[in-house]
Amino acid sequence: MSEIQTTEQVKKYLPFILGTAIFMQMLDSTILNTSLPSIARDLQESPLDMQNAIISYVLTLALFMPVSGFLADKFGTKRIFILSLAVFSVGSLFCSLSQDLTQLVISRIVQGIGGSLMTPVGKLALIRAFNKNELLKAMNFAIIPALIGPVMGPLVGGYMVDYLSWHWIFLINIPIGLIGIILSLKYMPNYKSPVIDFDLKGFLIFAMASLLLSVSLELLGNAQNITPVLLVLVLGFLMLYFYYKHAKTDNNPIFPLNLFQVRTFRVGILGNLATRLGISSIPLLVPLMIQIAYGQSALTSGWIVAPMALTAMFGKSYVIGILDKFGYRKTLMTNTFVIGVLICCLAIPTVQSSIYWYIPILLVLGFFNSIQFTSMNTISIADLRPYQNSSGNSLVSVNQQFAVGFGIAFGLIVLKLFEGDTTFIKNEVHNAFRYTFLIVGSLTILSGFVFRRLNFRDGDNMKSA
């Protein structure tokens, strides 16, 4: 790694720069869901066909995220990060100017190319700029937008569609992107690492696995016939097996297998995947329930969920102290259990209850979610060696992308299974949501056992000095 003097100003602004990128990406990925019917009407398309605008973006992320570490090592974190912000902003502008679905899909692909590099490269710069005992505090600040984006997306999207036009959901990215570029030009360090060569064969195999798994995710939530979905899913895992065989023999694989010899990385990856399977579906299921079961507007459902962002930010001021006192193992096991119980509590109110009973549950849930995400993200990279930072960070980003996707798909599948059994839910759709919360919450509780594989002193090097 090239030696770069990291000033206090760089350390001050770098978490904010990364936070800008994360906010832009998370807001964009959720804000579109609220606006799809309006965009479909304007483009004279069926709302069902508009799913291509979401799928194209997700697939592009999955395809190009693995190459982010190599590009950052070769050309520098500053150059690639600024390029990614510029590409994402240009893609957003193209989206707002789209006249038909084809143009919108192409524009979303451009956005996806920028988005696939933004967060991994920004996180890589953060990892290299801060010492281990400073990284938790820096990551804690930068990750706040990841909690706010999914909550604010439906709310902002509802307002823009109702009072402005759908074009503004993309145009809002441009000023945020410009702020990120200006700050990056001044404060983003341009870290590089020696690059031997690019593992093209490994990249293509892993990209194919990512593509197949992403397609299966998107099909899973809307499939009438499960057989082709399972076939695509199996093919995706088969390609992962081929990558494993390739990585065992290649001298410089894009994701070295020695990453998984680091126990904290291995547990962090698995814990992220298992825990987010439950957590990720809640920002989608709760607004759906408010609209479908209670007959409220998209804007009202957005306001019900929005307070989660406030307690998420509040939780950030406590997470460092909690981890310093209790350690990662006890914190993650206890916190995952609490989140699972809170998700189960969403099943308590009946359809006759006031929708405002959900607010206190979601307020507490937002607090514990913030602790969970910061803890999982930092323990994953706690014991990586400097030469493993690029590939490990890229793999963590890819894993999180799939974890969120699988979580949303899982929640929708469980909901649809209960909706289809009218006798069991007594012809009351709200009961389908209640049973889904119980299943998702129980799964989250069980996922906490993954963190038992951590030792009591794991993550001590991440504790604040």
pLDDT tens figures, 211-256: 888 777 667 655 566 778 788 889 988 998 998 899 888 877 888 8
Q: List the domain boundaries for the chain.
A: 1-197, 199-253, 258-465
Task: Please give the CATH superfamily to which domain 1-197 belongs.
Answer: MFS general substrate transporter like domains (1.20.1250.20)
Task: Write down the pLDDT at residue 338.
Answer: 95
pLDDT at residue 350, as a whole number: 83
Instruction: Name which CATH class applies to 258-465.
Output: mainly alpha
Answer yes or no: is pLDDT of 4 > 50.
Answer: no
Q: Residue 158: its pLDDT value, please?
A: 67
Three-state SS sequence of the chain: CCCCCCCHHHHHHHHHHHHHHHHHHHHHHHHHHHHHHHHHHHHCCCCCCCHHHHHHHHHHHHHHHHHHHHHHHHHCHHHHHHHHHHHHHHHHHHHHHCCCHHHHHHHHHHHHHHHHHHHHHHHHHHHHHCCHHHHHHHHHHHCHHHHHHHHHHHHHHHHHHHHCCCCHHHHCHHHHHHHHHHHHHHHCCCCCCCCCCCCHHHHHHHHHHHHHHHHHHHHHCCCCCHHHHHHHHHHHHHHHHHHHHHHHHCCCCCCCHHHHHCHHHHHHHHHHHHHHHHHCCHHHHHHHHHHHCCCCCHHHHHHHHCHHHHHHHHHHHHHHHHHHHHHHHHHHHHHHHHHHHHHHHCCCCCCCCCHHHHHHHHHHHHHHHHHHHHHHHHHHHCCCCHHHHHHHHHHHHHHHHHHHHHHHHHHHHHHHHHHHCCCCCCCCHHHHHHHHHHHHHHHHHHHHHHHHHCCCCCCHHHCCC
Task: Decide which of 452 and 460 is more confident.
Answer: 452
Measured between alpha carbons, how far is 372 from 386 in angstroms, rounded to an integer? 25
Q: Which residue has better confidence, 390 or 5?
A: 390
More confident residue, 335 or 54: 335
Same fold, 1-197 and 258-465: yes
pLDDT in tens, 116-160: 888 888 888 888 888 777 777 777 777 676 666 666 666 676 677
Report the alpha-carbon distance of residue 121 to residue 218 in Å, rounded. Answer: 26
Residues 245-287: pLDDT tens digits?
998 888 778 888 888 888 888 898 999 888 988 888 887 788 8
Predicted pLDDT of residue 6 = 52
For 76, how many CA atoms within 13 A lie in the half-sphere containing its CB? 12
Q: Which of 149, 207, 164, 176 is nearest to 89 (CA)?
A: 176
Tens of pLDDT, residues 301-342: 777 877 787 788 777 778 888 888 888 899 999 999 999 999
Q: What span, in angstroms and rounded, lies between the C-alpha atoms of 61 and 71?
A: 15
What's the predicted TM-score (pTM) here? Answer: 0.77
Mean pLDDT, the chain, rounded, equals 81
Structure tokens at 226: 């499960």
Please name the residue that has the structure tokens 């969120």. 404
The set of residues, in sequence order, having a beta carbon less than 8 Å from that of 297 and lying 6+ positions away, is 158, 291
What confidence tens digit (pLDDT) does each residue in 402-456 have?
Answer: 787 778 778 878 888 887 767 767 767 788 888 999 999 999 999 999 999 888 8
Q: Report the pLDDT averaged over residues 56-76.
A: 82
- Pick the most confident of 43-47, 183-187, 330-334: 330-334
Give me the pLDDT at residue 87, please: 95
